[in-house]
Structure formats: structure tokens, C-alpha cells
Amino acid sequence: MIDPGMITFAAGGKPEDHAGADAYLFTHNHPDHLDPKTVKEVVGESPVYGNKEVVETLKGLGIEATEVTEGETFEVAGFKIRSIHMQHCKMTEGMPFASNTGYLIDDEFFDPGDSIEVEHDFKVNTIALPIIGLSYGPDQALEDAKKLGVKIVIPTHYDYMKSDPEEFKKKAEEIGIEVRPLIPGEETTI
């Protein structure tokens, strides 16, 4: 499971509903991705991975975690995962940046956390792409999806910053990109 943060529970989910995963990956330590109030209950005794800043945050909460370094490849539950440190999207003045790490899984799926970098040394078919942020909107996300050459976008961040994933889906499908908006708890096969 990647980033079961406060948004996961704002929609009515409960920490126990997200407990018991083979492992947890955290992209960065903002509460919408790593909620200090619920993380201990969610991760339980499962293996946890994150960058140095994430590991320090978790350690402060009494949770053991494995630090991943730039470009490191590791295996979890039969999946090959490569960590890719990326710049967090631009924040508003006075808001702290977080150290952000994306995860490339089996060279098929990529979750960049809150990054919008599009220059990478890999190609991927499916991405969990933020479609809105403090300095980023759906039109930019669509351009980035085109640059990345992805076939499928799973839109993220739209429930926190309020953007319409169905509108994004219509625009993306016009250029041949499939979009799969998921409701909390919904699964999809990649």
C-alpha cells in the first residue's frame, strides 16, 4: 500500500480497513500521505519503506522503517520496486517542502507522490498522477501524461485540492489516455 494518509480516512475509511498489507511505501511525510495520527494502527507490524525524512518521522512515532536511497531496487511480496527521489511540487510561500520519493513497481506502475517531474530514465504504462496541487492543475497534468507517454492515469490529489477527475478523464480520452478515477477502497488491476 502506498501513502495511506489522512485523506484515506477523511472519506470515511478506518485505519483497520487498510491494515495488513504486505508492506507500506511512503512517498513523503505530509499528513495527506503519512498521517501521524493513524499510521501506527495502519502499518502494524508490516514492513515500512520511505526516504530518510519519512523514516525519521516514523521513528519519532515509534515505528521501525527501512530507508530507501535514490535508485535503490528492492523486492516486496514478489514486486520489484525502484525508489526515485524527486522534487516535491512547488509549495506556497512559508510551507515546507518535503523530501519526496516516487516508486516504480515492476517497471509497469509509477507513483511519484507529489512530484510532477516528467524527465526520467524509464517509460511506464500506468501512473498515479496528481492532477491538481498548489502550483499545478489538470491541464498541466494532461500535458505531463502526454510527455510521459503513459497509457493509463490513476488520478490522485483531486479529493484534497478539489478537482473533477471525470472532467480530466474526458480530456485525456480525447488524446488516447485511459483514466481510472478510484473511490476510497476501490481496486484496479494493472
* Residues 170, 172, 177, 181, CA torsion sign: negative
* Helix, strand, coil % over all residues of the chain, rounded to 5: 25, 25, 50
pTM for the complete prediction?
0.88
How do beta strands 73-76 and 48-50 pair?
Answer: unpaired
pLDDT in tens, 126-182: 999 887 666 667 788 888 888 888 999 998 876 666 667 888 889 899 999 999 988
What's the N-to-C CA distance of the chain in angstroms? Answer: 14
